[in-house]
Copies of this chain bind each other. A is one copy, B any other.
Amino acid sequence: MNYEIPDLNLKALFLGSKGENVDLFKELLLKVVDEHVGWRQNYQPQDLPVITPYDKSSQSFQDTADHMRSVFNELSSKLRTESLPWHTAGRFWGHMNSETLMPAIIAYTAAMLWNGNNVAYESSPGTSKMEEEVGHELAKMMSYKEGESWGHICADGSIANLEGLWYARNMKSLPLAIQEVAPEHVKGKSEWELLNMSTDEILNIMEQIPDQLDEVKAHSARSGKNLDKLGRWLIPQTKHYSWLKAADIIGIGLDCVEAIDVDSNYRMGIGKLEAKIRELAAQNIPILGVVGVVGSTEEGQIDHIHKIVELREKLAKEGIYYYIHVDAAYGGYARAIFLDENDEFIEYNKIDEVFKKHSIFTDMKLKNEWLTEDIYNSFKAMSQAESITIDPHKMGYIPYSAGAIVVRDTRMRDAISYFATYVFEKGADIPALLGAYILEGSKAGATAASVWTAHKVLPLNVTGYGKLMGASIEGAYRFYNFLKNRKFNVNGKVINLYPLTKPDFNMVDYVFNEEGNTDLVQMNKLNYEFFNHASYVKGSLYSNEFITSHTDFAIPDYGNSPLQFVQSLGFSKAEWDRAEKVTILRACALSPYAHDEEVFAEYAAKIEKAIHEKLEDIYNEMNE
């Protein structure tokens, strides 16, 4: 169905910081349960129930039910004792956790009752169709062409990234395989040229040789051959361990991974990227691919995807080509904020007008603080990447776990797919055996139903998710501005708060430092202690009035990119070299409530007090 989307009120879409919407939640939850049970009852109504009233009144039934009730008491106690209170409207500024969409939670439960397995259409016709729809919706959100692109849900971003690398590896190896199997199609090309063919060129040839497809595939990297010829996989210096793991698993190995330095804003340095590519090319080493990150795990920063794409266009003229995978596990859904009601990418100078129309950002000053042309262009250029990781369980506000990957050209599936004997039974557009086209096998139909329902409630543009993204970014900027220039007087000392960098998205990193302190190790200790006091580490999460997260930027991962920040706090280069890291506090600003000026103001006073108390505790402990 196509829905007329009302002016969405985000407050109706979450259970609420105090469970305010519990009635609506229960109404829908019980409705899906009742409809499921009605379905069971009415399938072949001539069949009588096999669990009889006598069964139910038996001692063993009662005992079993009571045993189950006891187990649920324990489960509930454990969950209530050791979970994060991310539901609060303004006290949780920590790890990547937040409210998830009420429709997504209920849809998951609903579909779980039917328990489809989307690995095979036969097992789950309903939810398999939903997954196919969701894949196309996500592809469309990236402005991939309809009818030519594809996507699917997967377990998480690490798996999506691994699948992206699998695509890149097998794609890159195809020209060598074509040369072995159908050499007439790559006549006269040197090995260097074969390893620098564009994805389009390769796919166009593959399309011309359907009868040799299987043989070409058998000669591709999947055979285990030629992995050492495929070149280097370039990732940002902050190299998330999932990329190292992926290179390990996929068999190209860590030795093929090259880290490109990030700048002092934690974005991949494009000059450095070009220099590295030229340096490798001079040694006849091709580039397997380049990873751009949209929403880095630790800083939420956004690589300049448009510049990675422009560089590819420039180098193509010199015979160099690389696959681009965008790791937008975190930031992928944010592209919805740039799509108008018709899912068209909004012109830069129309943004204010469209945002106003759809009440995105209550305060346009905060929008102006956030949005730069580089951020805009980065999102816009995502459509040029071969594949993109997007996690519904992050900025999609879907419960864990729901990752996804989209590919620009459906034909790329041929590079990784398997055909079991029963794969073509359906002959429809939807793979009869999805497991033959993706990295995983069995997968919950419920995940597809959850994402599908969320997308139906909130379209992937300014009428839906765009609003939620705006609220999150606005909340982040309120928190960022709260931190800036804030001071605490503790036991006669002045403790200053410094944000790390202006956020590209909704993640705010920051540090505390004592005024006059020039000992970086000491500052790191203070921030680590602060994390301990603002997390599970020092006792009960439930009684904690301010919660945050932390990370370390250490030289092995970050090189000197934090140096500029560290120096801006008054530390010397020598001090940086001595400490070898800076401990950072980290806030994912995901609350759907904190963008509201009044709400934020109310909580700002509360968390300022809570932070002050923690600092006092820390200083008192240090003096003991």
Contact = CB atoms under 8 A, between A and B. Distances in A.
A416 B245 CA distance: 8
A29 interface: yes
Most chain B C-beta atoms within 10 Å of own C-beta, residue among A9, A25, A70, A86: A9
A212 interface: no
A114 to B, nearest CB: 4
Contact of A16 (B50, B83, B446, B542): B50
A443 B444 CA distance: 13
B20 A56 contact: yes
* Closest 10 pairs (CB-CB, A-B): A251-B251, A224-B253, A158-B441, A82-B126, A19-B37, A6-B63, A155-B155, A12-B64, A20-B51, A222-B248
Most chain B C-beta atoms within 10 Å of own C-beta, residue among A25, A31, A35, A436: A35
A597 interface: no
Given A49-B16, A166-B249, A549-B122, A542 B43 contact: yes
A468 interface: no
20 contacts: A9-B58, A13-B68, A35-B76, A47-B88, A68-B102, A79-B110, A83-B124, A97-B115, A100-B115, A108-B109, A109-B112, A115-B399, A116-B400, A155-B155, A157-B441, A224-B252, A224-B254, A248-B416, A250-B250, A421-B557
Contacts of A325: none
Contact of A17 (B25, B47, B556): B47
A130 interface: yes
A535 B155 contact: no
Given A67-B457, A156-B443, A82 B224 contact: no
A577 B537 CA distance: 68
Interface in A189-229: 218, 221-225, 227-228
Contacts of A535: 122
Contacts of A18: 40-41, 47-51
Contact of A421 (B49, B457, B542, B554): B554
Contact of A400 (B17, B40, B442): B442
Contacts of A95: 117, 120, 122-123
A106 interface: yes
Contacts of A158: 435, 439-442
Given A65-B12, A224-B252, A125 B51 contact: no
Contact of A256 (B15, B123, B224): B224
Interface stretch (A346-354, A448-456, A470-478, A489-497): A448-456
Given A80-B39, A250-B249, A401 B444 contact: yes
A611 interface: no
A154 to B, nearest CB: 8
A304 interface: no
A320 B162 CA distance: 33
Interface in A62-95: 63-72, 74-76, 78-89, 91, 95
A113 interface: yes
A272 interface: no
Q: How large is the interface on A (under 10, 10 to 19, 20 to 34, 35 or more residues)?
A: 35 or more
A375 interface: no
A162 to B, nearest CB: 8
A514 interface: no
Contacts of A72: 28, 31-32, 103, 106-107, 110, 453
A444 B444 CA distance: 12
A96 B71 contact: no
A593 interface: yes
A536 B122 contact: yes
B241 A436 contact: yes
A420 interface: yes
A466 B114 CA distance: 25
Contacts of A154: 155
A420 B241 contact: yes
Contacts of A403: 442
Nearest to A421: B552
Contact of A452 (B7, B75, B247, B556): B75
A55 interface: yes
Contacts of A166: 248-249
A286 interface: no
A159 B441 contact: yes
B445 A400 contact: yes
Contacts of A422: 550-552
B244 A224 contact: no
Contacts of A65: 12, 24
Given A40-B19, A68-B103, A115-B400, A254 B218 contact: yes
A113 B111 CA distance: 16
A371 interface: no
Contacts of A97: 115-117, 123
A11 interface: yes
A448 B20 CA distance: 28
